[in-house]
Structures are given as C-alpha cells and as structure tokens.
Amino acid sequence: MSQALRTLEVPVKGMDCAECTQHVQHAIAQLPGVESVDVLLSSEKAVIRLDPARVDLPAIRRAVASVGNYSVPDTASAEPTASLPTRDFNRQLVTLLVGVFGVVLSIVVIGEWLGVFEALGELVPFPIGVVLVVLGGWPIFVNVIRATLKRQVISHTLMTIGALAALAVGEWVTAAIVVVFMRVGEYVESFTTESARRAVKELTASAPQTARVEREGAEVELPVAQVVAGETVIVRPGEKIPVDGEVIAGHATVDQSAITGESMPVEVAPGSHVFAATLAKLGGLRVKTMRVGAETTFGRVVKMVEEAEVHRADVQRFADRFSGYYLPIVAGLAALTFLISRNPLSTAAVLLVACSCSIALATPIAMLASIGASAKRGLLIKGGKYLEILARADVLLVDKTGTLTLGQPQITDVIPLDGLAASEVLALAASAERYSEHPLAEAVRAAARAQSLPLAEPDNFEAIPGLGLRAQVNGSVVMIGNRRLIPTSQSVPSAAELEAQGKTLLFVARDGVLVGVLAAADTLRPEVPAALAEARAIGMRHIELLTGDNERTAAALAEQLGVTYRAHLLPEDKIAVVKDYQAKGHTVVMVGDGVNDAPALAQADVGIAMGTAGTDIAVDAAHVALMREDWALVPEVLRIARRTMGVVKTNLAFTAVYNIAGLALAAFGFLPPVFAAAAQSLPDLGILANSAKLLRQR
C-alpha cells in the first residue's frame, strides 16, 4: 500500500525564464507518483506533491536534468545569498545596457560594414569555422536536441535552425555571430530574471542563521533550526532576534521593519512579543521561544512571497499560452518566407529575430519585482492574480471595529458639573473604576493615566450588571453608569449632541448628586479619512462601511467619512453584501481585521487583512496582508497594483511591436541574419529596464 502523500520542496538551478519553468514542471509531472507540481521561477524551486513510495529525489534529479541545463543541487548546500544593494544594481544594469549595445555596434556595424566578416571567412577554412560554431554553441545545441527528442520547441530551436541555415549557404561567420548572440541572450535572460528575484533573496537573507540559547546554565550558539520551542534565547544589543517569542527579561528598542515595513522602532519589555529577523537596538533581551524557522511570522512571509508566483495573473497565463503558439507561428512564417523569396538568409533572419522569452518574461518579471519589493515594506501580496484584480477593483468594503477604529473605547469628552473641574471628575471616576474589568473602565483609567492624575483607593466596590458600578471613594458614595443607574432631570450640556455622534455616555454621581458626564467612543484611526480620499481618487467608486454596531453609531461614523453604511450585520450578512456587489458586476475589495471578518475576506475578489504581524488566521484568510495597522497602506497597495499592471501592459506592448517589426523587416530582407541575431537579445533589456522601477517604488 502506498504511503500518504507528502509535499517536497527541491531547489532547481539554471532556470532563466518562464519557458524554463514549463519544461521543468512538465518533466517532473510525468514521473509516476507525482500528484502535482509547481515550479517557481522567483525562488528557483519546485514544490511537489508526491507519493514517496513511488518517486524519490534521484528520480526527480534525473527528470530535471533530462530537459536542459537544469539541476537539483543538494538542499543542504543551498545558502541564501543577499543580492546587490539598489545603487549597485542600477550601476550594473546601466553597465549591462551599455555593454550589450557596445557589442552590437562593434560586431555588427564595424564588422559588417567594413567587410571584416568577409575577410575572416576567406582566411579561415569552412570546416574549421563549422567546428568553432559547434564548440561555441554546444550547450545550447544539446538543449535543443533534448527538447526536439521530447517533441518540444524552445526559443533556442529557432536560432539553432537559423545558424544551421547560415552554415548551409556557406556563411559560417554569420553562424558564429549567431552563436555569440545566443550566449549573450542567455546572459541577458539570466540577469533579467535574477534582478527580479533580488527582492525575494534580500528577504531570505535577512533571516538570522544562528541563535544564542541558554542550555544547562550556559549560553550555546547553534543553528536556528536546532532551537526548540520553550527554550530561552539570548539577544544582545545590535543583534537580530532569531525566533518568534515572548520577552521574559530585559528592555530594548526593536527595529521591526523586516516584518512591518515600519521604520520607527518599538519599545519592548517583559510580556512583549517579538519576531524573528527584527533587530534589537539599545538593549538586550531574554526571549522565550514560541516559533522557529519557517513557522515564524517572517518565515511565513518569505514562504508566501516565494509561492505568490503560483497565483498567476490572467494576463500572465495568456502570455504563457501565447508563447506556446508563438514559436510554431514563427516557424511557419520562416517557411513561408523561404517559399516566396527563396532566400535562405532572409529565412534565417526570421528565425533569429523571434524572441519568445521576452513575451514569457514580460509579466512575471514585473510581478516578481513588485511582490518582492512590497513584502519588504510590510505589504504581503499573495500573487500576481491579486495585483491584477486590485488594479481594476471599483468597490471597497470596510469593517469598523479594529479596522477603521482602534478597536478599544477611549474617553473623548469630559463634561464637569456641580462646580468640579474636568480633571476632578475624571480622577473621581477612575478611582471608582480602579479594579473594574469592564472595557469602559479601562478607557477611564487610561484617560486618567494620560493626565497623570492621582487615584484614591476605592472601598465596597460593587458592579451592577447592565447599569454600571457603585464604590466608596474618600468616604463618598460614587456611582458611574448609564441613565438607568443615575436617573436625572438635570440638563447636561452637549449630551444629546454627543449621543448623536454615536458616543456612549457615562454619568458620574457623588453622594446622589450628578457631578459630571464622560463620553466614550471607539475612536477612528487618524489616517483613515485621508486614506479613503486617496482610494476614491485612485478609482474606488463605491466605499461602504459594514459593521455589527447599532444604527446610530454606524451612521455617525459613515457621515464623518462620507461613505454609505450597513449596520447590525452578522458575519454571514457581510458575505451576502460582498456577493450582492459581485452579482452586479463589481470587483470587490474587502478590508478587515482578519479574525471575525475572515469569511468576507475570503469571499471578496481581494481580501485585505489589517495589522497581521504574528497572527495566523489573518494571513491565511486574506489575499493581501498588511503587516502593520496603518490605513495609508490600503491606497498604497492599490497604487502598486495599478502601477504594476501599467508596467506589464507596457512590457507586452513593447514586446509585441518589437517582434512584429523585427519579423516584418527580416521577412522582406531588410534585416540581415547578423542584425537579427543581435536584435533578439534587446527586448529582454527593455523589459528589465521598465520593470526595474518597481523595485524602487516610493
């Protein structure tokens, strides 16, 4: 009987474009015992669902090697490497552009126009020239032969045929130049793909590799993978925290930008939770380990960014399908060119100028760059599919408590009566509420702490369910609660106005006399109005508040924000609202806190979970996770999506126009084979230059 299916992740080296991933994926999928496989270009690995009784790692290695210059190295030796800083990357990109154009100008223009190629062809015997061509292009020719035996047509198939056509008419120098540009093209494709991977690699390289653990009374430094949950990890000033855990001793300022993207550090103390890959500054810590490695918040972020490639955008799927038809079309066009013109050089030029890799790279390069760069800033986008949907979304539905608001009541107004000052009323109420566990009691105490008010010790504390409380403070009987607890005919200035705003009123009486009123509300996040205004400007035509709160509170908040609302909603009601908009043809984005809103987040075309650092259910339920509680990130992710799709469309348009123009010029004899071979390498550079700006989003 077969063992249970399990998931195996194996690194795959040598993949430079989407076409490569398709070949590797097809080879692995053909193995008996493989149920499913996803080959990820960004992280250079294959995620395989398999039956270990029927397929093993050596079989996978052989299958991968059989389809090209791809290999499955020993996973133990695969170390994460940091990529170049942005400034060095830009310098290298410029160098590459200048270098390639320099090679094109030197070889093609000087060589062709000054007759260098003709002289070289006369000096070197044809058989020796053929040997040089074969030796120079041997790795590529082997790949083409392997693909042909498997009935596959790859991008180098056309160029190889073009080189053979040049040899067939005695132009070995042309064939040699074709080989040179095939090798240059390989490097350009490799560089293009590697530059898109750089943000993902920077994420991976950010994880600390070792931890200092307290074992048997001594500090032991060992690989992070060997740390066990429950152990105490020692973190010194200036070191990265290697695990997720709870601080049990020490104080420090921690830079959490690796998780949240927030540049401002936070203060941590005993009882605080800390995350792996964050940096401890100005203090040391002792941390009780809760999660290690891939199970940490940072580990889950890296894994989801790597696997975001699985959720491909529709435009990317179209490009992948088109690439499969493109090469046969070009081969047919080359055959038609030969039938009409009887010119083998024009036929060879048609085969040489075609650049299928640029079509396949146009979308994933931009998506990888955008998703990787966004993750470093606290925006976890689970795939290009969701970037594409966000770019066309027109409805924004938002939860209230914990999403638009801070999720905890705060005292917003203090109305003193009977000659008392506002601070006296607040101190009296906070003293009576000193040991109450009610959420409004904590709001009263927090307001008193904010003003550093001295509190008295209460006696004879009595909670009155549904009404409020009674206690003795400094010998007086103090009562705090609603109108039913403290009925009064006394007119309270602004009370009606405060209630109309959806605020909860707490009446404070001393020895039976009303001395003040406190107004409490779940306060709006300060950045929300500006963020919603930006969302409207970006293209959100409908913004609606969904809440389980009462009608009065919902109406007050909706009026303040200038949005529509629906109140008294249960989780299933929110799902119904999402479905209703979708049935009318709208593309819906739902923003929630990721816990009670999980069903609606999953139902929406794109669910955005707010402030998900350290939480499992929010990251799992949503399609986009904001790692810090900052509403400014919502319009930011909308802008990123629209900008990314703009780059994708520009890439595809540029590639289409370039290839059509090149094929037309080659077919009509205006583009010699040497120029055609040089031209096929340039679209990749154009795509890279256009997509590179996504790595530097502001």
pLDDT given at position 183 = 74
Cα–Cα–Cα angle for 578, 626, 258, rounded to 5 degrees: 165
Q: Which two tokens stand for residue 339?
A: 């039938």
Per residue in 6-22, pLDDT (tens digit) is 888 888 887 766 667 77
Give the pLDDT band of residue 404 (cuts 50, 70, 90): confident
For 236-271, the pLDDT digits (tens) are 988 899 999 999 999 888 888 777 766 678 888 898
Task: Give me the CATH code for the 228-291 domain, please.
Answer: 2.70.150.10
Strand partners, 88: none
User: 579 pLDDT exceeds 90?
Assistant: yes
Residues labelled as active-site residues? 399
pLDDT digits (tens, 9 = 90+) for 635-683: 999 999 999 999 999 988 898 888 889 899 988 988 887 777 777 767 7
> To 10 degrees, the CA torsion angle through 578, 583, 587, 589?
0
How does DSSP assign 490-527, residue by residue? S--TTHHHHHHTTPEEEEEEETTEEEEEEEEEEEEPTT
- Amino acid in position 223: P
- Please give the pLDDT value at position 356: 60
What integer is the mean pLDDT of 118-139?
Answer: 79
Q: Taking residues 463-477, report their average pLDDT.
A: 89
Give the helix/strand (H/E) hosting 37.
strand 34-40
- Please tell me which of 44-58, 309-323, 533-547 the model is most confident about, judged by mean pLDDT: 533-547
* Neighbour-count burial of 522, counting CB atoms closer than 10 A to its CB (0-12 exposed, 13-18 middle, 19+ buried): buried
Q: Tell me the pTM.
A: 0.71
CATH placement of domain 408-523: 3.40.1110.10
Reported in sequence order, the residue ranges of 586-666 that DSSP labels E, i.e. its strands, are 588-592, 606-610, 624-626
Rounded Cα distance between 218 and 492, Å, is: 65
CATH code of domain 386-405+525-633 = 3.40.50.1000
**Tokens in use for 358?**
């640029």
Q: Does the pLDDT at position 156 exceed 90?
A: no
Residue 380: its H or E element: strand 379-381
Judge if 228-291 and 408-523 fold alike in CATH terms: no
Query: Taking the alpha carbons of 274, 279, 285, 286 in that order, is the dihedral positive or negative?
Result: positive
User: Hey, CA dihedral for 607, 609, 615, 619, is it positive or negative?
Assistant: positive
Q: How many helices (H) and strands (E) does the chain have?
A: 26, 25
- Domain map (residue ranges) of the chain: 6-77, 228-291, 386-405+525-633, 408-523
d(CA 291, CA 86): 32
**pLDDT tens string 580-625:** 999 999 999 999 876 667 788 888 999 998 877 656 666 676 789 8
Average pLDDT over every residue of 299-305: 74
pLDDT of residue 392: 93
If you average pLDDT over each of 117-126, 318-327, 590-599, which comes out highest? 590-599
Q: Which CATH class is domain 6-77?
A: alpha beta
Summarised one tens digit per residue, pLDDT across range 449-465 is 999 999 999 998 888 88
**Residue 49 above 80 pLDDT?**
yes
Q: What are residue 293's phi and psi, to 5 degrees?
A: 60, -130
pLDDT on residue 289: 92
